[in-house]
Amino acid sequence: MRIVGALAAAAAAIVLSGCESTAQKETLAAQSLLVGMPKTTLLECAGAPTATAAADGLEYYTYELSGYETWGSPSVGVGVGSVFGDRRSFGAFGLGFPLYGYDRVDSAVCRTTFVLERDRVKAVRYSGAGPTYERTRLCHAIVAPCLPRPAN
C-alpha cells in the first residue's frame, strides 16, 4: 500500500510540474545559471542597478521592477430607453446600470539582488510583494536578458 501511495505522489508531482510556466522555470534556474557571471557581463545584460551596497567584501546590486495586471469580469446590466421622432428624423435615449461585475488590479514588485564577490555573481536572491505569478513575471523580466540562450 505504501508503494501505491508513493507512486501516486510521484505521478502527481510530475503532472503538477507541467503547470510551471517557462518564466517560473527560467527565474528559478537563473539562481544557479548566473552564478559566476562577471560583473561587467551583468551590467551589460541587466543594465544599471536600482541600488547598490557593499559590506564584508561583498557587493549587492539590486534591481527593482514593479507592475500590475488588471482583471475584469463579465458584467450584466439592465436599461430602459425610448425612441422618439417621426419617420424622417428620430432620436433615442437610454439609461442603464450594472447588476454585477467587478474589476481587480493585482500589483506586485520584484527585487532581484545579485550578490557579487571578487567581481563575479555569487548568488541571486528574489524578494518583493504581490501575487506570486505577477512577481515571477517581473523577476523574470529582470534576469531573462542575462540567461544563456540555446544555440539554434
Query: Please, what are the domains in the chain?
Result: 22-70+107-146 (3.30.1450)
Q: What's the mean pLDDT in 118-140? A: 93
Supply the mean pLDDT for the chain: 79
Q: What's the mean pLDDT in 29-58? A: 97
pTM: 0.66
CA distance 64 to 67: 10
Does residue 70 surpass a pLDDT of 80? Answer: no
CA distance 43 to 96: 55
What is the pLDDT, as a whole number, of residue 107?
Answer: 84
